[in-house]
Structure 1
Amino acid sequence: MDIVIEKPSHQHITEIAQICAAGWRQTVEGRLSKAYQDKNVAYWYNHDKVRSDIDSGNYSHVALIDSKVVGTIGGAMTGPERGDVYVLYVDEAYRYQGIGRRLLGALTDKQIAEGALEQWVSVEKDNWHGIPFYKARGFVLQGEQMTEVASGETQVSLKYRRDVG
């Protein structure tokens, strides 16, 4: 299996939207209502928003197998020495094959080149795909953030940090 990591383009919009929507829904399943999930997916993963996020660099890399998008990552520098991971999802059929590790490595290299000494990520509480992944790569829990979302439900994110410089 030949995995190619590259910058996303507009031809990847549909696949990025599908992978991110499915992955995000899995992380909040059973904790946030379907109505809220639908609203959130419609906002973050509609084609115009994904296009805008590709153009702004918020989606930094995609993983391709035979020209098919099987994963994506995005993030940005949020301080002079701080990089954040905003999104990292891998198509469920391709998980546990090193794709997430390679995507995180590509974003980390980019952020280090931009001056990052530390990297942060927020992970949904009870996300048993994401939490072990980030812990295995040296991220350490820094705290918990509770946010009341528009539907009145509470979303709980865990904040993780690691040194990269």
Structure 2
Amino acid sequence: MHIHTLDKAAIISELQFGTGISNAVHEGRRADFALILSMFSDDVRDNTPLEKIDEVDNSEQALRKRFELQQPQQLRSDQSSYEVSAQQASLFHSAGLVSTKLSHYLVPDALSYMPEDTHDLPEEVYHNLSGHQRRAMGEKEPKELMPIDLYNQLIKAQRTFQIQAQA
């Protein structure tokens, strides 16, 4: 008997043996019974019937869509926040605090108004930087490093210029 054929048999339960295990028990053949039991899979997941459970999407966006909720309150201001805050200020002056609260609940205003185009620095700090530092903060791509053999390149360029000047 080949060992590999027994490994590939994938014997999981006694139903696959038919009456062989029952006969071994009734006739008292302990060796056959032990052999059959040793060939069963010891993985519980093989013997347990499983149902496929559908994953439920409980992400924030899916729940907001399901319960028809609006987007959450912005933490930082952008250009549209100024229009919303102007509208709420107008409602406060014309109709009072209650209408302002209602407007805020329907279209929430930004939580804080930070200065724009200062790379998340306070305005005092940003305006205190030199022009070179501001330019460096605005660059998206990193600067290229100087070549390692810069000194050799400069010497070679100087010698070439001297040769061309004498000729």
Considering the TM-score relative to the shorter chain, is it more than 0.5? no
Going by fraction, where is helix more abundant, 1 or 2? 2
Larger strand share, 1 or 2: 1
TM range (shorter): under 0.3
TM-score, normalised via structure 2 length = 0.15
Question: Which has the greater radius of gyration?
Answer: 2
> Greater RCO between the two (CA within 8 Å, min separation 6)?
1
TM-score (structure 1 length as normaliser) = 0.15
